[in-house]
Amino acid sequence: MELFYLVITGILAGFVGSLFGLGGGIIIVPALTLIFNVPVTVAVGTSLVSIVAVSTVAAIDFLKSGRADLELGITLAAATSSGAATGGLLAEYLPARIIYIFFSVILIIAALNMTRPRRIMLIDHKYDSASHTAVGWGLSLVAGNVSGILGVGGGIIQIPMMRTVMKVPFKIATATSSYMIGITVAPAAAIYMLRGDIDPYKSAAIILGAFAGSRAGAAMSYKITSLLLRLLFVIIMIFTAYKMFVRGL
């Protein structure tokens, strides 16, 4: 029965991850630790593998649509993958309570980010190439590091950074971020996998759900604009952040 609930968790994570460009880790790590009582490092490792799966599916759809900027994606992925690999190695030495508290902070940031009006985010301007690449590269290194430690995709840092610092239009930023997430977390996922911090059956069940959920999310990403849905998700995120923070104390 547990496998069934894990598949449902995967579907939810994949759907929401693709829909809001978050990568799914925001749901998988709290669900595994708070509901399934999995140790946080195993939850992070399992989440990273699931993120690679979700990102691969989303990347296919975004690549086919031609919205992803491959040159920008590869440039930033060089930084994010370095950061994620470092984060993955560093996570082994971090106490679990630090990871819980750090995760709750990231959840709050993601929730606040989601409260920004969507109509402003959808305004696109003429785009030739990204600006302030060096600053973007440095911030991508930090985003990658967060991914490696917390098992999140990094989109919550990457997309706003691309939009505000690098002046990349929202649609291109989302597509490029989705393309990059898999490349970003793959080195960290390999580290967790080789260290034994991945539960094969739990991961398999979540991946199975995530495959299906992310396909649905990518297909509906431009159809769902409900403010109510976003607000509901923000409330859930804040509540989850509180639970994670309490677990870390």
Partner 1 sequence: MKDNNTLSLRIAQILRILEYSALTLILLSLGLYLFNIDKALIGAKAGIGLIVFAPVTGILATAVIFFLNRSYKYMTLSLFILLIFIIAVVVSI
Point out which residues bind partner 1 (CB under 8 A). Answer: 3, 49, 52-53, 55-57, 59-60, 63-64, 66, 68, 70-71, 74-75, 77-78, 81-82, 85, 88-89, 182-183, 186-191, 193-195, 198, 200-201, 203-205, 207-208, 211
Question: For residues 2 and 124, which CB has a smaller minimum distance to partner 1 in the complex?
Answer: 2
CB of 157 to partner 1, least distance (A): 19
Q: Which is nearer to partner 1, 60 or 238 (CB)?
A: 60
Amino acid at 125: H
Residue 198 CA to residue 207 CA, distance in Å, equals 12
Q: Which is nearer to partner 1, 75 or 102 (CB)?
A: 75
CB 33, min distance to partner 1, A = 20
Min separation Cβ 241 and partner 1, Å? 28
What Å distances lie between residue 245 and 91, 97, 103, 229, 239, CA to CA? 18, 8, 8, 24, 10
Write down the least CB distance from residue 43 to partner 1, Å: 15
Q: Which is nearer to partner 1, 102 or 211 (CB)?
A: 211
* Residue position matching structure tokens 């595994």: 32
Q: What angle do CA 157, 161, 163 make, to 5 degrees?
A: 130
Between the alpha carbon of residue 41 and those of residues 88, 98, 148, 186, the distances in Å are: 10, 12, 11, 16
Contacts of 212 (CB under 8 A, 6+ apart): 10, 11, 14
Least separation, in Å, of the C-beta of 184 and partner 1?
9
